[in-house]
Structure 1
Amino acid sequence: MTKVVIRSPISRNPTNNDQRSIAKKGFDKLVAERSTYRPHYSGCWLIKNIPRNARKVEEYEIKDARVQIFSLNEGIEYLYYIMPWEYELSNELTQIVRKTIEHLGQNPPRDFSLCFDELNSYVQSTSLQLINSFINNNVLIRDDHGTDNEELQERLARIVAKYTVGLGILEAMLSDDRIEDIYIDAPAHENPIYVTINGISGSNSIVRCVTNVVATNSEIEGLVSRFRQYSRRPFSEAFPIMEIDVASFDTRATVIGPPLSPMGTAIALRRHSRFPWTLLKLAFNGTIDCYIAALISFLIDGRTTILICGPRGAGKSALLGATLFEFPRTQRILTIEDTSELPVKKLQQLGYKIQSILVENEIGVEREEKTDEALRVSLRLGESAIVLGEVRGKEAITLYESMRTGKAGSSVLGTIHGDSARTVYERVVHDMGIPKEAFGATDIVIALGLYRPHGSPKQMRKIIELTELKKDSNSGEFRPFVEFDHHTGKFNLHSVQDSGIINRIAKSWNLTCEEAWMNILTRAKMREILLAFAQKGRKECLEPEWIARTNEFLWQRMDVGKVDHELILSEFESWVQRRLGLGELS
């Protein structure tokens, strides 16, 4: 364990016992406030002290670490205090980890072209054999932990892998499902790492937290070296930007260095959710409500073109991914992304017909050109719903050309930067050069935003507006379906019965506008039933499997012709109760 020694400003020759006592207290206080420590194998220091004005808000366990969240300055700031298990090892166990790492350094794997998962597996298995031998030869450890303590040995092997071929303490932070972003600003050794975390003082709030972790320059160099190795991408003064997917941790890493970052190398890690979002999960946390979820479900079912806009961090990708579970499982879906964020694997596991196209950045090739090429290829792959991770640049022209001429087939979904439907229109028409007439292929724009109730530093994600493009106007006019009221914190709902989009869907389904409206309300009430069970602790009702089954339940009854909505709701509630094995809703 590396220690930091701080010299005391107090004289070593006190004149009496009182002075000696005061000096000792002062020295102890100084050390407690300024001490940092780390195991020799880690490149990150932990700040040990907790500020005096800190108030503990939460405490929980993550993989091989304990986390405490503290409120500072009466809630203006927050501290993310992490204590990894390996930072509290006894001296004997620390020495075993050290000896194992040294042995691995002297006997590296023969094949350095292994991917991260393969290299990690090799290091763990090799370390496990070494650790078992070291423990059996250490009397103190054998007496304290026994020779058959497999769990201890496996944890020690994970530590070795974490600090040799892995991401070190960042692995523990990336295992925390509450963390969304991790930032290491340059110069790293002078700036504590900070994170964006969700769920503080409310399930839908997000805040920035400083952490008690400070990375050394050698740690940053090691991380960059591993990123280069696993991605096969250059990083130097000639190429000062590196973006890679760290698939093993569901994370996107962005690294910048000199001369772009004159103070040194900086790293940003954007963590993707390990568990796919659904519209009902977004209703559960307050981003939307059940009516909005039902309206979006109806619009997806009606094969509309939807653009989702909002600032960074507003949840555009989460909402886009959630809408995919509203498609019928028989609908073919093509996704085009430059970062794997959409829940393609989960959709395939549930039986959805989905094909992913990943557009990776390449040296000397513009991302726009590759995305445009991927879009053109997708248009030749047959009738499909097209989902663009982000609409920007050259591919937007191709997209709107195909929509206008009918080549795009079924629904078209995508995200785009902008804070309202109007700004999306301005960006697409004026910045991207899409003709006004072509933009008319857009049906719906959903705007997400970050809402700060009463000016609080805590931010909450909300749908700000859900609007329909008026097709009888080329001036970019929109009709609101839903608007968020910042004063009341509630959603204002507008009538959709005179909507051109709703009427178009109703006509294609051989429904009256009134029947289409009842269809939306029935979807909303079905979701309210599921939400009620989730609020009673049965959160499995929010999962994708339930969303798919819920939609299929409705479609099966729509097939019979004339629909009795009250009967559907009664049967649906009974069906949910049977599947959950519960009694009547109270």
Structure 2
Amino acid sequence: VGFGLAEVILEDERVEDIYINAPIGKVPLIVKHSEYGELRTNIIPSVRDAYGWASRFRMMSGRALDDANPVLDTELETENFRARVAIVQEPLSPQGLSFVFRRHRERPFTLPLLIHYNSLTPLAAGLIWFLVDGARTILVAGTRGSGKTSLLGACMIEIMRKFRIITVEDTLELPVNYMRNLDYDILSMKVGSAIAGTGGEMPAPEGIRTTLRLGDSALIIGEVRSKEAIALYEAMRIGALANVVAGTIHGDSAYGVFDRVVHDLDVPVTSFKATDIIIIAQKIRSPDGLEEKRRVTSIVEVRKHWEKDPFIEKGFVPLMTYDAKEDRIKPERALIEGDSEVIKSIAGSVREWAGKWDLVWEEIVLRSKIYELIVKTAQERKYLELMESDFIVIANETYHKLFKKLKEEQGYPETKDLLFLFEEWLKAELKKRGK
């Protein structure tokens, strides 16, 4: 589409980022590769190319890029890839234009894929699936490049297709088009950038408030970065959307998220209690500093019985925590022993689960076994397509249908029976596909 070798490089699925630094014409293009890390190339874009790209992105986005608005956030989508684009120019960048392209996977990540890549365990995946089905409010937090958006996309795939989804983003990064092709009822809303000139776009807070007038929906916020946080917490507190509310935010711990939301973004302390779950994703570096791996390092419950500081008043209760020695996230006592107010709240609205922690725990473990079975089968048969969103959406719906079928027959499904029926269904699906 006219972006030269940068466009060609972005067609490689293993490319994560491209950096083109100022001064253009003197500095080589840098590629961040999923296997080889940062690579210095022998490609040096020309000044003419750079100014041509900047003009094209300005025109495509409808956003300003000039001395008064020296930052442009936008996106680039072709038949072969999607990428987020950030452009900086003078006076913010004294030596002229610079570009950053962040490539997004064409298909959304799924929880089984994240298990396959060791980013989380089957139990963590089963818990997240349960929490999304339970219509909780979830913040996915982490440092830059930790996989927050990928994890949020995986959470979106856990939403059943019978529910409507509304996404609000200032730069389109979520896999909306692909999910629409999977027959999701999904509405994408694009709002003005919090850090750049936005032209005639609606500000993010007004965009979020608009979703409250669009009917019962799951609400997904691409990234919480500025004053839209206040509008988001308004939506969360009144429960206007009647389904899961989720988004990403920068922060490396539950308290870091609280500190940012309350002290940086001016959300009232009491409003923060509308957050049910904080999932932290981080980059873990090897001792030599040469390798990085992405891991979900904690799943934390936010309790409601505190007044000023949830850290001091024990308002943060870890459900799962990363063990560096074992390189995996492990369940904490609160999860194992049923001391989770959020999970109890979900169970309390289901007649069969109310007051029966054993059944709730069995449900979470069963979901983890479903995903463990899918991942193991995909790996053994070298058929990784089983872990992609196209199949996972069908698998999740099959699980719910089998649960309903056994419930009608048995009163309440036996775990072993449900797992057996799912395994038989999986075998039949593989046979259909010649695998």
TM-score normalised to the size of structure 2? 0.90
1:75-224 counterparts in 2 under 5 A?
A: 166-200=2-36, 207-224=37-54
- 2:86–2:100 Cα contact (<8 Å) kept: yes
Aligned to 1:252: 84
Do residues 509 (structure 1) and 346 (structure 2) align?
A: no
Cα deviations across residues 136-162 of structure 1 (Å, max 9, x unaligned)?
xxxxxxxxxxxxxxxxxxxxxxxxxxx
Whether 1:553 aligns to 2:398 is: yes
State the 1:406 CA deviation: 2.8
Shift of 1:373: 0.9
Task: Determine the structure 2 residue equivalent to 1:77.
Answer: none
Q: 1:526 aligns with which of 367, 370, 383?
A: 370
SS in 2 for 1:303: coil
Two-structure CA RMSD over aligned residues (Å): 2.1
| Aligned counterpart for 2:297 among listed residues 454, 461, 464 | 464
* Aligned partner letter, 1:522: L
Quick one: structure 1 residues 364 and 297, their matched pair in 2 at CA, closer, same or farther if it must change by over 3 Å?
A: closer
- Between the aligned partners of 2:62 and 2:401, the Cα distance in structure 1 is 50
Residue of 384, 387, 401 corresponding to 1:539? 384
Structure 2 residue identity aligned to 1:485: D
Measured against aligned partners, the alpha-carbon deviations of 1:403-422 in whole angstroms (never above 9, x if no partner) come to: 22332322110111111111
User: What residue is the counterpart of 1:304 in the other structure?
Assistant: 136
The Cα of 1:398 is off from its aligned counterpart by 1.8
**Cα contact 1:187–1:263 (8 A) shared by 2:** yes
Where relative contact order (Cα < 8 A, 6+ residues apart) is larger, the structure is 2
Is the 8 Å Cα contact of residues 245 and 253 (structure 1) preserved in structure 2? yes
From 123, 148, 162, give the equivalent of 1:330: 162
- Which one of the candidate residues 397, 421, 424 is aligned to 1:571? 421
Gaps of 5+ in 1: 1-115, 117-165, 201-206
Whether the aligned pair in 2 keeps the contact of 1:484 and 1:490 (CA below 8 Å) is: yes
CA shift, 1:234, in A, is 4.3
Structure 1 residue aligned with 2:204: 371
TM-superposed CA distance for 1:582, in Å, is 8.9
Q: Tell me which residue corresponds to 1:483.
A: 321
Q: 1:392 to 1:266 in 2, by over 3 A?
A: closer
SS in 2 for 1:252: strand
**Alpha carbons 1:444, 1:467 under 8 Å: kept:** yes
Cα distance, 1:339–1:236 mapped onto 2, change above 3 Å: closer
Aligned to 2:60: 230
Q: Report the alpha carbon displacement of residue 366 of structure 1 after superposing the two structures with TM.
A: 9.5
Give 2:120's match in structure 1, choosing from 288, 303, 309: 288
One-letter amino acid matched to 1:191: V
Task: Report the Cα distance in structure 2 between the residues aligned to 1:454 and 1:582, rounded to whole angstroms.
Answer: 46
Distance (Å, rounded) in 2 between the aligned partners of 1:276 and 1:463 = 17
Secondary structure, aligned partner of 1:581: helix
Q: Percent identical across equivalent pairs?
A: 37
Work out which of the residue numbers 87, 91, 102 in structure 2 matches 1:270: 102
- Among 431, 437, 440, the alignment partner of 2:270 is 437
The amino acid of 1:298's aligned partner reads F
Task: Tell me the equivalent position of 1:400.
Answer: 233
Q: How far apart are the structure 2 equivalents of 1:550 and 1:193? A: 42
Q: Deviations over 1:296-335 (max 9, x none)?
A: 0000011111000001111111111111111111111111
Which structure: larger Rg? 1
Q: Distance in 2 between matches of 1:403 and 1:232?
A: 31
Name the CA shift for 1:402/1:179 in 2 (closer, same or farther; >3 Å).
same
State the AA in 2 paired with 1:183.
Answer: Y
1-structure distance, mates of 2:47, 2:235: 50
Is 1:448–1:464's contact at 8 Å kept on the other side of the alignment? yes
Per-residue displacement from partner, 1:30-66 (whole Å, max 9, x unpaired)? xxxxxxxxxxxxxxxxxxxxxxxxxxxxxxxxxxxxx
Is contact 1:333-1:385 (8 Å) kept?
A: yes
Equivalent AA in structure 1 for residue 22 of structure 2 = A
The answer for the alignment partner of 2:184 in structure 1 is: 352
Task: Rate the CA distance shift 1:346–1:229 in 2: closer, same or farther, 3 A.
Answer: closer
Aligned to 1:142: none
Q: Are the counterparts in 1 of residues 298 and 318 from structure 2 also a CA contact under 8 Å?
A: yes
Change (3 A) 1:238 1:428: closer
- The separation in 1 between residues aligned to 2:317 and 2:176, in whole angstroms, is 32
The count of corresponding residues between Structure 1 and Structure 2 is 413
1:318 aligns with 2:150: yes
CA distance in 2 between partners of 1:195 and 1:291 (Å) = 35
Find the aligned partners of 1:392 and 1:239 in 2 and give their Cα distance: 18
Alpha-carbon distance between aligned partners in 1 of 2:52 and 2:268, rounded to the nearest angstrom: 49
Following the alignment from structure 2 to structure 1, what is the Cα–Cα distance between the partners of residues 254 and 386? 32
CA spacing shift, 1:221–1:431, aligned 2, 3 Å: closer
1:455 positional shift:
3.7
Q: CA deviation at 1:356?
A: 1.1
TM-superposition CA deviations, 1:379-417 (whole Å, max 9, x none): 011111111111232221122123223323221101111
With normalisation by structure 1, the TM-score equals 0.67
Q: Is the 8 A contact 2:224 2:248 kept in 1?
A: yes
Instruction: Give the equivalent residue in structure 2 for 1:113.
Output: none
Q: In 2, Cα distance between the equivalents of 1:431 and 1:198? A: 33
User: Alpha carbons of 1:246 and 1:290: their partners in 2 closer, same or farther (altered >3 Å)?
Assistant: same
- CA 1:499 to 1:364, structure 2 compared with 1: closer, same or farther past 3 Å? closer
**Structure 1 match to 2:412:** 562
Q: Distance in 2 between matches of 1:395 and 1:189?
A: 39
1:179 positional shift: 0.8
Shift of 1:546: 2.2
